[in-house]
């Protein structure tokens, strides 16, 4: 199965047990709104950890009815995060979400050696885009976490993403490794890595997906472009997952899809014991909601 | 843009290298019929005439110069430009590497002495309130400071031709923060300093800026970043070909964008487009090059 739209995630969530989402330092206007909406839609069961008064004030001014939601009072933000992470560690929650704290604070606790959520895998950012002009949802990684991943890092990033896609119901997702050109060019390291990743995939060193690269963006998403250039590839024009060479490229592409192509987006951090939702102030309400939906679908 | 070119009331002579694909022939014939171009088509004359016949295009619209292979065709186009028989050269079905090799040839090419070769594109996007100029889209994988300065200057010069006196140029990064993890941001700081000292042609320059801060006023407000570009960029300068290439392709494939672009750093305008580009895009490129060729 492949996703045609982000709302397809709802069916996946509905098919499984109710996931518990813990919101760390929950006294945060923009994440609370999305969490409560997801709760009302039966997507997740929230647990709010943070300053109880702060949470209640926000809910009162915004007219959120939170009767029935579990709130744990912890005014110290650092402690609230620690408690949230431990809760996941004790299997009392299935998804972790960032509230009113910086990303680095959250990650510090996630990576704590004693009671953190490390699995030995690299943490990576994974985003799903619904673009009107593409025939299905397209996943893009990593646009926000790893600055300049090495070949080894890229393997982990692919593995993280592919296991997530499989949880969403994909079978042998098609992975395009992005380059500025579709030819291997010794002066562009990304194209060399792309060739290596493709070969490693052929040799079963990276499994459960079909990898091809380097592919330029147009070859990856348009069969017509690929055919025009005479590229023979199972992935070209039908990409499920697009691997970025580095964060500079990913950031620009992510923002151009959202701003210029009016794409809907859902994003999650993978590689920890559970999916982690990190939304930022500039994300739309819908994007925050869809990210919660994605993380619930990806937590199994 | 086309109106601007027509208002010049001048015809430019374009030499097309290996001119036998239908998109190129279609675009050229349109430019000739509109009256702002004359064309010299270099290539397999039989193939050119076959394409014209299949698309109902009158071969009398242009001069055909027979050539047996793509390398010869590229060299012939460059020769015509050097001898003054052509004002602009354009890549047809010839491969980019062969075409650029002829352009960059030290003895017989078209390079200005000591100049950096860079590509500046103009893209029209339904989701943006004006034309957006982008550089570099085709030539320099990882531009250094000197090359970035040249790229900026070429783009500013092009925007000036459109009558915008003080274009806003955003130096694109992953965020607005200067960081040692992103060596490009150090170049950007240097460039902004130069811009303040008036070392660029008239412009407003800022960077690093991410795409939102460059193109979206709303984001500038939300993030509270103080930038003179203010979400209203005319020009985006990219840190690498890796970032610019998927950006403009995403605009074209997913956001309804139309691109026109040119190689700069040469004695005469050079039109270089992917072979798969649409007829419309090629037509816009021709119009843009005629605008830039105007003295």
pLDDT at A30: 86
For residue B59, give the CATH number of its domain: 3.40.50.10950
Q: Find which of A140, A147, A186, A256 to mutate to test the B interface (most B CBs within 10 Å of its CB).
A: A256
Q: The domain A124-264: what is its CATH number?
A: 3.40.718.10
List chain A domain ranges.
16-118+272-298, 124-264
**Selection from A243, A218, A249, A245 nearest residue A231 by Cα:** A218
Dist CA A244 CA A263 (whole Å): 18
List of chain A residues whose C-beta atoms are within 8 Å of the C-beta of residue B216:
259
Mean of pLDDT over chain B? 92
pLDDT at A15: 87
B160 and B204 in a single domain? The answer is yes
Same-domain status, B147 and B243: yes
Query: What distance in Å separates the CA atoms of residue B163 and residue B160, rounded to the nearest whole number?
Result: 5
Q: Does any CB of chain B come closer than 8 Å to the CB of residue A263? A: yes
Closest Cα in chain B to A222: B253
Q: What angle do CA B284, B278, A220 make, to 5 degrees?
A: 125
Residue B261: inside a domain: no
Give the model's pLDDT for residue B135: 97
DSSP characters over B41-73: EEE-HHHHHHHHHHTT--GGGSEEEE-SSHHHH
Q: Residue B242: closest CA among chain A residues belongs to which residue? A: A180
The closest of A22, A93, A34, A83 to A58, measured between CA atoms, is A34
| Minimal CA separation from A140 to chain B, in Å | 12
Within a domain: residue B260? no
Which segments within A151-271 are labelled E, that is strand?
A: 174-178, 210-215, 241-243, 264-270
Half-sphere exposure of A147 (CA within 13 A, CB side): 8
pLDDT over 80 (residue B5): no
Contact B151, B120 (CB under 8 A): yes
Query: How many angstroms separate the CA of residue B124 from the nearest CA in chain A?
Result: 11
d(CA A73, CA A26) in angstroms, rounded, equals: 10
- Please give the Cα distance from B38 to B29 (Å, whole number): 9
Q: pLDDT digit string (tens) for A214-267?
A: 999 999 999 999 998 889 999 999 999 999 999 999 999 999 999 999 999 999
Indicate whether B278 and B178 sit together in one domain: no
Contacts of A158 by beta carbon, 8 Å cutoff, 6+ apart: A141, A175, A197, A206, A209, A211, A241, A243
Domain count, chain B: 2
A286: CB partners within 8 A, 6+ apart: A264
Strand order in the sheet with A124-130: A70-73, A44-50, A19-24, A95-98, A276-277, A264-270, A124-130, A138-141, A241-243, A174-178, A210-215
Whether B97 is covered by a domain: the verdict is yes
Task: Give the N- to C-terminal CA distance of chain B in Å, as an integer.
Answer: 17
pLDDT the model gives residue B295: 56
Tokens standing for residue A18: 């109710």
Contact B248, B138 (CB under 8 A): no
Say whether both B76 and B202 belong to one domain: no
Res A282: pLDDT: 78
Q: Which residues contact B64 (CB under 8 A, 6 or more apart)?
A: B40, B41, B42, B43, B45, B48, B49
Residue A214 preceded by cis peptide, ω within 30? yes
Q: What does the alpha-carbon distance between residue A136 and residue B153 come to, in Å, rounded to a whole number? A: 40
Query: What mean pLDDT is predicted for residues B282-288?
Result: 91
Residue whose structure tokens are 């006023």: B217
List the alpha helices (DSSP H) in chain B. 2-7, 22-34, 45-54, 70-82, 96-104, 145-161, 183-196, 211-215, 217-223, 241-254, 279-293
Q: Is the pLDDT of residue B182 over 60?
A: yes
Domain that holds residue B288: 2-111+266-293
Angle ∠(B194,B199,B200) on CA atoms, nearest 5: 100
DSSP letters, A218-245, are HHHH-HHHHHHTT---SSTT--SEEE-S
Q: What is the pLDDT of residue A300?
A: 73
Q: What are phi and psi of A120, to 5 degrees?
A: 95, -15
pTM for the whole structure:
0.91
Tens of pLDDT, residue by residue over B244-279, are 999 999 999 999 998 999 999 999 999 998 777 788
Q: Is residue B162 part of a domain?
A: yes
Tell me: do B241 and B283 sit in the same domain: no
Interchain CB distance below 8 Å, A178 and B241:
no
Q: Report whether pLDDT(B293) > 80.
A: yes
| pLDDT of res. B294 | 67
Q: Where does A16-118+272-298 sit in CATH, by number?
A: 3.40.50.10950
Chain A residues lying within 8 Å of B172, measured CB to CB: 252
d(CA B178, CA B189): 8
pLDDT tens per residue across all 300 residues of chain A? 899 999 999 999 998 899 999 999 999 988 999 999 999 999 999 999 999 999 999 999 999 999 999 999 999 999 999 999 999 999 999 999 999 998 999 999 999 999 999 998 999 999 999 999 999 999 999 999 999 999 999 999 999 999 999 999 999 999 999 999 999 999 999 999 999 999 999 999 999 999 999 999 999 999 999 998 889 999 999 999 999 999 999 999 999 999 999 999 999 999 999 999 998 877 888 999 999 999 999 997
Q: For residues B115-142, give the mean pLDDT.
A: 94
CATH of the domain at B243: 3.40.718.10
Cis peptide before B136 (omega within 30 of 0): yes
- DSSP state for residue B116 in the 8-state scheme: P
Residues B217, B270 within the same domain: no
- Checking DSSP bridges between strand B37-43 and strand B118-124, what pairing results, if any? unpaired
Which of A148, A185, A253 comes nearest B250 by C-beta? A253
CB contact under 8 A, A217 and B245: yes
Residues B144, B154: Cα–Cα separation, whole Å? 15
Q: Which residue of B has its CA nearest to A215?
A: B246
CB contact under 8 A, B210 and A251: yes
Chain centroid offset of residue B211 CA: 20
Task: Give the number of other CB atoms < 10 A from CB of residue B274.
Answer: 18
Evaluate whether residue B13 is within a structural domain: yes
Contact B86, B271 (CB under 8 A): no
Residues B92 and B133 in one domain: no
Alpha carbon distances (Å) from B44 to B59, B95, B140? 13, 15, 31
Q: Which residues pair with A270 in a beta bridge?
A: A124
Size of interface A-B (CB pairs under 8 A): 123
Cβ pair B245:A256 closer than 8 A? no
Tokens in use for A60? Answer: 């009162």
Helices (H), A27-102: 29-40, 52-61, 77-89
Tokens of A181: 């050109």
Domains A16-118+272-298 and A124-264 belong to one CATH topology: no
């Amino acid at each position: 199965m492949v996703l045609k739209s982000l709302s397809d995630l709802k069916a996946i969530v509905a098919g499984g047990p109710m996931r518990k989402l813990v919101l760390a330092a929950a006294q945060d206007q923009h994440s609370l709104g999305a969490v409560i909406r997801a709760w009302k839609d039966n997507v997740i069961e929230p647990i709010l950890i943070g300053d109880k008064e702060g949470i209640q004030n926000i809910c009162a001014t915004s007219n959120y009815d939170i009767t029935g939601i579990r709130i744990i009072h912890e005014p110290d933000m650092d402690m609230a995060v620690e408690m949230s992470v431990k809760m996941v560690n004790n299997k009392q929650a299935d998804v972790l979400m960032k509230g009113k704290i910086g990303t680095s604070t959250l990650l510090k606790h996630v990576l704590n050696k004693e009671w953190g959520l490390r699995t030995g895998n690299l943490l990576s950012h994974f985003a799903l885009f619904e673009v009107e002009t593409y025939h299905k949802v397209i996943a893009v990684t990593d646009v926000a976490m790893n600055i300049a991943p090495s070949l080894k890092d890229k393997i982990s990033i692919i593995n993280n993403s592919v296991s997530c896609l499989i949880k969403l119901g994909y079978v042998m997702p098609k992975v395009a490794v992005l380059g500025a050109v579709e030819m291997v060019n010794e002066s562009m390291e990304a194209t060399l890595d792309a060739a290596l990743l493709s070969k490693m995939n052929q040799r079963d060193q990276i499994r459960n997906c079909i990898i091809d690269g380097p592919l330029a963006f147009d070859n990856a998403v348009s069969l017509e472009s690929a055919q025009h250039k005479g590229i023979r590839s199972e992935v070209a024009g039908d990409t499920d997952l697009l691997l970025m060479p580095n964060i500079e490229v990913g950031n620009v592409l992510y923002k151009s899809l959202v701003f210029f192509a009016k794409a809907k987006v859902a994003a999650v951090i993978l590689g920890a014991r559970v999916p982690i939702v990190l939304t930022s102030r500039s994300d739309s309400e819908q994007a925050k909601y869809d990210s919660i939906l994605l993380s619930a679908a990806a937590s199994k | 843009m086309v109106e601007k070119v027509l208002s010049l009331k001048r015809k430019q002579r374009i030499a097309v290298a290996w001119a036998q694909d239908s998109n190129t022939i279609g675009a050229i014939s349109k430019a000739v019929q509109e009256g702002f171009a004359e064309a010299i088509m270099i290539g397999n004359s039989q193939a050119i005439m076959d394409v014209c016949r299949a698309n109902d295009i009158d071969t009398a619209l242009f001069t055909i110069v027979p050539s047996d292979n793509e390398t010869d065709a590229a060299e012939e186009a460059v020769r015509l430009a050097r001898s003054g028989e052509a004002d602009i050269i354009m890549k047809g079905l010839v491969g980019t590497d062969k075409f650029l090799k002829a352009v960059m040839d030290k003895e017989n090419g078209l390079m200005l002495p000591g100049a950096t070769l860079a590509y500046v594109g103009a893209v029209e996007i339904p989701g943006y309130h004006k034309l957006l100029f982008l550089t570099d889209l085709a030539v320099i994988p990882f531009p250094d400071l000197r090359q970035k300065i040249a790229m900026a200057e070429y783009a500013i010069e092009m925007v000036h031709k459109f009558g915008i006196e003080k274009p806003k140029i955003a130096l694109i990064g992953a965020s607005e923060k200067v960081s040692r993890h992103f060596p490009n941001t150090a170049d950007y700081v240097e460039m902004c300093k130069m811009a303040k000292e008036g070392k660029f042609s008239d412009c407003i320059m800022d960077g690093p800026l991410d795409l939102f801060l460059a193109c979206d006023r709303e984001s500038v407000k939300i993030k509270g970043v103080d930038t003179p570009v203010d979400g209203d960029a005319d020009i985006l300068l990219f840190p690498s070909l890796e970032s610019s290439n998927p950006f403009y392709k995403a605009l074209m494939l997913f956001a309804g964008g139309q691109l026109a672009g040119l190689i700069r750093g040469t004695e005469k305008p050079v039109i270089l487009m992917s072979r798969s580009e649409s007829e419309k895009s090629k037509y816009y490129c021709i119009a843009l090059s005629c605008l830039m060729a105007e003295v």
